[in-house]
């Protein structure tokens, strides 16, 4: 098989606002054994990959973020129990420490972190460009200072591919320029031009035979630029495509509206990925628009800050109202946190600063997000997504 195969299994027949939620399957190759022969670029023959393990990802799907080779506070076994099918690693952070060559020498990222599922690595572009006062962008790449020690580094499309090749992820993201928000049309168009040029350059860098590539298109909140960028990027030989440049400061309404415009611009027969999104409501609206894959730090970051997502709305567990609450965090959740511990106990752990607070809170939030995706997938197959969506919002308000 090729590095990635996508099968569109079903589109909802009664979608909201004329959009078409969809469910599918992404099949990915695992890395071959280290004993397999490879060339100087790390590529291996197709024959050796025919025996490689196949990973199956059911879409729509949420990818927990493992920035530094760990989804914060959770073990890989806990991720599996929660239902995670793919996780995300961060090229920028892993390049700075422990270093991509070290990770490769130790057996690539999966072996390094003992995760036996697939991994998507972002290109490092968003992190580099978000270092507003610490970078300098030109047509060749970006020079930036490390947020750790201030040392200078330079990322190019080629280096981003080389780092991700060393990490050994199943899905490799193109290096792109994410324009800021707000941005003028000229600024967005300039970022689009660089993104297209860098996408072409990145394709020339060979990857390992198990690695697939995703392109990213830009366009900000300008519908005509989104159409133009999608046409340009989707003409290139990528295995899937991502919507970039959203959830960077615009309102949720603007982000959701542009997602409804952007998703249908992408090929029907390839995976669609909305990067860095987001709240449960944003996942629901993204799926409604026809998006397949999502990632965001929100469930893990907010868990550590005491904000928990439940089927009945958000719970700020530090609030005094929960001090004597013997009920479960979410009566509709089967995760270990909800089955075994009370809201009162979770509040006690949080206000005392106990490490267990971060672990139990994160376990719940990740479990909730992954169950949310499974529920939407089921509703799509049963042609009741609109009904499910209405019930989701009704329950969120009831809490």
Task: Show which residues are catalytic.
Answer: 122, 295
Which string of DSSP letters, residue by residue, matches 87-116? EEEEHHHHHHTT-HHHHHHTTHHHHHHT--
d(CA 17, CA 331): 31
Which tokens hold the place of 216?
Answer: 């990213």
Which string of DSSP letters, residue by residue, matches 246-303? -SSSS-HHHHHHHHHHHGGGS-TTS-EEETTB-SHHHHHHHHHHT--EEEESHHHHHH
Which tokens hold the place of 52?
Answer: 């490689």
* Cross-strand bridge partners of residue 296: 64
Place of tokens 């989701």: 392
Cβ–Cβ under 8 Å, residues 293 and 262: no
CA distance to 276, 305, 312, per residue, from 280 (Å): 12, 17, 12
d(CA 137, CA 144): 9
d(CA 194, CA 141): 9
């Amino acid at each position: 098989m090729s590095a990635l195969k996508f099968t569109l299994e079903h589109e909802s027949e009664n979608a909201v606002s004329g959009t078409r939620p969809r469910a599918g399957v992404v099949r990915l190759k695992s890395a071959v054994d280290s004993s397999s022969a490879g060339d100087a670029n790390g590529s291996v023959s197709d024959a050796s990959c025919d025996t490689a393990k196949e990973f199956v990802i059911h879409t729509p799907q949420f990818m927990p973020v493992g920035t530094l080779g760990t989804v914060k506070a959770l073990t890989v076994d806990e991720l599996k129990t929660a239902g995670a099918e793919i996780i995300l690693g961060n090229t920028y952070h892993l390049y700075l420490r422990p270093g991509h060559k070290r990770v490769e020498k130790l057996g690539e990222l999966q072996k390094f972190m003992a995760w036996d599922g697939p991994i998507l690595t972002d290109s490092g572009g968003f992190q580099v460009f978000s270092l507003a006062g610490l970078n300098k962008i030109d047509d060749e790449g970006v020079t930036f200072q490390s947020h750790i020690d201030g040392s200078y580094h330079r990322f190019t499309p080629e280096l981003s591919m080389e780092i991700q090749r060393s990490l050994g992820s199943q899905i490799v993201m193109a290096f792109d320029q994410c324009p800021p928000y707000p941005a003028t049309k000229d600024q967005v168009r300039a970022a689009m031009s660089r993104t297209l040029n860098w996408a072409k350059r990145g394709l020339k860098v060979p990857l390992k035979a198990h690695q697939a590539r995703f392109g990213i298109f830009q366009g900000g909140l300008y519908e005509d630029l989104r159409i133009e960028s999608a046409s340009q990027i989707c003409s290139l030989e990528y295995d899937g495509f991502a919507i970039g440049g959203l959830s960077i400061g615009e309102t949720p309404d603007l982000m959701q509206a542009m997602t409804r415009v952007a998703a249908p611009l992408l090929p029907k027969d390839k995976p669609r990925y909305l990067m860095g999104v987001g709240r449960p409501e944003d996942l629901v609206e993204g799926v409604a628009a026809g998006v397949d894959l999502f990632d965001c730090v929100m469930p893990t970051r907010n868990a550590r800050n005491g904000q928990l997502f439940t089927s009945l709305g958000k719970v700020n567990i530090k609030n005094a109202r929960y001090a004597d609450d013997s009920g479960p965090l979410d009566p509709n959740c089967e995760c270990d946190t909800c089955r075994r511990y009370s809201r009162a106990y979770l509040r006690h752990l949080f206000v005392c600063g106990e490490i267990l607070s971060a672990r139990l809170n994160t376990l719940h939030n990740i479990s909730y997000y992954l169950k949310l995706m499974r529920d939407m997938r089921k509703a799509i197959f049963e042609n009741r997504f609109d009904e499910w969506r209405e019930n989701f919002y009704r329950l969120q308000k009831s809490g």
